[in-house]
A and B are shown apart, each in its own frame.
Chain A
């Protein structure tokens, strides 16, 4: 396994709009790099070979598929939600374009394949949890069940539902407006599944993760949470991406993005 960070020019193989603001980008990548990617890790994308926007944009790995037979025929997927200029520039790239990325970066999820899993996703936080679900053995069919709770504002915001369904034993949805699944928050549908012995993984907007923390604490449970913040270097050199943690500052790019809920008093949002 290669654990080297690399600067790569990836060729965009396909760009698929999934809804008004989100698209799925598939790039060609060398199989050994794809094989070295771990769920929870991310790549840092340079939106344009220009100075504006200046910095790279971190995007989680949504799936990585090495091709055992062909060293150069691996594929890697990213889910991009357009929130500003950087993500817009990524979403409008045409297939065949090459994009400058650095990765894989960051501290991944550390699942135990023998234990039942509870994955709790909000919004675009579904991307790393999709990859995690796909990489757990048995794809939900084995002895250790994978329960996937997924929340969105409204039905149209859900993406990759069929893929997630295939990778998990149980997919439970919540929408804030009640247009699909439970009407309410994803934390509410996840609550009944919070149990001893289940490993818990969470990725979503900070209000959602902040709502999870007391639920976990009341039950004496810990979860692996994936954090977000503005990044500078992406490799642990600048201390720019820190968020407050119980033992001092946490660098999201390399101490995270995946951290234990025990390390946080609350999830930072700027």
Chain B
């Protein structure tokens, strides 16, 4: 048996297969299909201090092998999250990670400060890469200096593991990766969705209510693999790779590029047991290859 555990700061994930923020709700929505305790971690839906309505519909558009979304971080806000959503997490025996969003640095810091008090939340993922909100979101993640500044500010108030989620909508992702590391991040999530658009030729209007959206799914996989590869060369902290992972072969590709853990996003919609299928396929492959520890293959494609 391969040792599947992954360390992120002081947190140990039991295996590298996690589910991506915004695609797995508040952790319980897929419980009819399998026990979420089998996952390495659950990244919860993007959370802000105040409840948010999100963007007007239409919020989803299917594209070739991809999905454009403009949800706009609709969420229940911190107070209702604690009162209504965290109790159900008690039944899930794996790491649960909050996805932290805000309009200002102060919002991020305040939310992180409050989350630090919530026992059931094991870590925070700083979402400075959401393309679907007008204020905050991707604005912080597009430049290295603001990435470092916001990471450092949150780091000061948040003692648990801190993961920074990078946007691919930058010229060179290595710059923001280094900035997040310098600011004190324990890990990086690479990557969030690619800014995109689809236009209805009959109405001559953008299909999404928000006009633009974030592209995810198999369509972005080669782009995401390249970004994981680049980040692996630029930083020492572990990388949670994501972007179009649908089956175990895709997961192996991300590990070889340099990811230590993986997130399954859009594939949950296509195949509700995708994370478990990936986990089981990965376990078989690692055993067949005689790999004793996951770290042996992380970034192995970069050797020589």
Contact A233 B268, beta carbon cutoff 8 Å: yes
A34 → chain B, closest Cβ, in Å?
17
Segment of B25-33, B120-128, B139-147 engaged in the interface with chain A: B25-33
Q: Does B178 contact A (CB under 8 A)?
A: no
B residues near A234, Cβ cutoff 8 Å:
269
Q: Is B258's beta carbon under 8 Å from chain A?
A: no
| Minimum distance in angstroms from B118 CB to a CB of chain A | 21
Instruction: Using C-beta atoms within 8 Å of the partner chain, give the interface range for chain A.
Output: 20 to 34
Interface residues of A in 200-259 (CB under 8 A from B): 229-244, 248-249
Across the interface, which residues of A come within 8 angstroms of B270, CB to CB?
46, 54-56
Flag if B54 contacts A237 (CB, 8 Å). no
Q: Known: A238-B22, A238-B71. Contact between A54 and B61, CB under 8 A?
A: no
Given contacts A51-B246, A249-B54, contact A270 B207 (CB under 8 A): yes
Bound together, the chains give a CA A54 to CA B274 distance in angstroms of 14
A residues in contact with B259, CB < 8 Å: none
Are A237 and B25 in touch, CB under 8 angstroms?
yes
Q: How many residues of B contact A (CB 8 A)?
A: 37
Contact in complex: A239, B74 (CB < 8 Å): yes
User: CB within 8 A of A238: which of B25, B56, B65?
Assistant: B25
Q: Does B66 contact A (CB under 8 A)?
A: yes
Please give, as numbers and ranges, the residues of chain A lying within 8 Å of B266 by CB-CB distance: 54
How far does the Cβ of B250 sit from chain A's closest Cβ, in whole Å?
11
Q: Mark B1-39, 1 if CB is under 8 A from A, else 0.
A: 000000000000000000000111100011011000000
B30 touches A54 (CB 8 A): no
Query: Is chain B's interface secondary structure helix, strand, loop, or mixed overall?
Result: loop
Q: Shortest CB–CB separation between residue A253 and chain B, in angstroms?
A: 10
Contacts of A56 in B (CB 8 A): 269-270
Min C-beta distance of A38 to chain B, whole Å: 16
List residues of chain B with CB within 8 A of the CB of A52. Answer: 64-65
B57 within 8 A of partner (CB): yes
Q: Are A55 and B64 in contact (CB under 8 A)?
A: no
C-alpha spacing A7/B32, complex, angstroms: 9
Asked whether any CB of chain B lies closer than 8 Å to the CB of A141, the reply is no
CB distance from A270 to the nearest CB of B (A): 4
Q: Is the CB of B53 within 8 A of A54?
A: no
Kindly report which residue of chain B lies nearest to residue A3, judged by CB atoms: B32
A240 contacts B69, C-beta separation under 8 Å: yes
Does A53 make an interface contact (CB < 8 A)? yes
Complex Cα gap A249–B67 (Å): 21
Q: Sort A-B residue pairs by CB-CB distance and give the 7 closest, nearest first.
A: A237-B25, A237-B29, A51-B65, A240-B60, A5-B32, A270-B58, A51-B218
26 CB contacts below 8 A, A to B, read A4-B32, A7-B272, A7-B273, A52-B64, A52-B65, A54-B62, A54-B65, A55-B270, A230-B62, A232-B269, A233-B23, A233-B25, A233-B269, A235-B272, A236-B29, A237-B23, A237-B24, A237-B25, A237-B268, A238-B23, A239-B74, A240-B71, A242-B74, A244-B57, A268-B57, A270-B57
